[in-house]
């Protein structure tokens, strides 16, 4: 009986530590062009979404979301999905350069042709 109680206590400890580690932030990765190509090929062969998700090593909901986004006339279009992904990356906020910085750089270049000074100054910002 004592052995059973210790086993249950150990199980509780393992479960509680698993809950603590699972509450960390999620890491999302975008699907690559190769993964999209795999999804497209599997859909043409009429393989189930669950099997596709296991093969491309992404969650089933990720595959469903990709199919939903890349649809054109209710058919998954590989080229459409890839172009949407590229456009999304191009317009992402984290890659935008603020207008004030662009104006400053243009002004700095018009006043001084020394690019080294500009790179030193921008390193301090």
> One digit per residue, pLDDT tens: the chain, 125 residues?
544 444 444 444 434 444 444 445 556 678 889 999 999 999 999 999 999 999 999 999 999 999 998 888 888 998 889 998 888 888 888 777 888 888 888 887 787 777 777 777 777 65
Residue 41 sits in the same domain as residue 86: yes
Residue 56 sits in the same domain as residue 100: no
Report yes or no on 27 lying in a domain.
no
Residue 39 sits in the same domain as residue 56: yes
Q: Return the pLDDT at 20.
A: 45
Q: Return the pLDDT at 125.
A: 56
What is the total count of domains within the chain? 2
| Chain center to CA of 95 | 15
d(CA 106, CA 6): 71
Report yes or no on 42 lying in a domain.
yes
Report yes or no on 22 lying in a domain.
no
Other C-beta atoms lying within 10 Å of the C-beta of residue 97: 8
Q: Return the pLDDT at 35.
A: 92
* Tokens standing for residue 18: 């698993």
Q: Return the pLDDT at 17.
A: 42
Residue 84 sits in the same domain as residue 101: no
Other C-beta atoms lying within 10 Å of the C-beta of residue 63: 24
Residue 82 sits in the same domain as residue 100: no
Report yes or no on 63 lying in a domain.
yes
Residue 66 sits in the same domain as residue 79: yes
Report yes or no on 15 lying in a domain.
no
Residue 53 sits in the same domain as residue 103: no
pTM above 0.85, yes or no: no
Structural domain range at position 79: 32-91
């Amino acid at each position: 009986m004592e052995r059973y109680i210790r086993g249950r206590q150990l199980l509780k400890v393992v479960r509680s530590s698993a809950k603590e580690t699972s509450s960390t932030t999620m890491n999302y990765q975008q699907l690559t062009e190769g993964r999209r190509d795999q999804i497209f090929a599997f859909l043409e062969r009429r393989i189930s979404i669950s099997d596709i998700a296991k093969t491309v090593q992404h969650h089933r909901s990720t595959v469903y979301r990709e199919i939903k986004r890349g649809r054109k006339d209710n058919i998954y279009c590989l080229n459409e999905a890839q172009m949407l992904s590229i456009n999304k990356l191009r317009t992402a906020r984290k890659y935008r350069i603020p207008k004030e910085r662009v104006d400053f750089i243009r002004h700095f270049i018009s006043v001084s042709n020394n690019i080294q000074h500009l790179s030193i100054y921008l390193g301090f910002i």
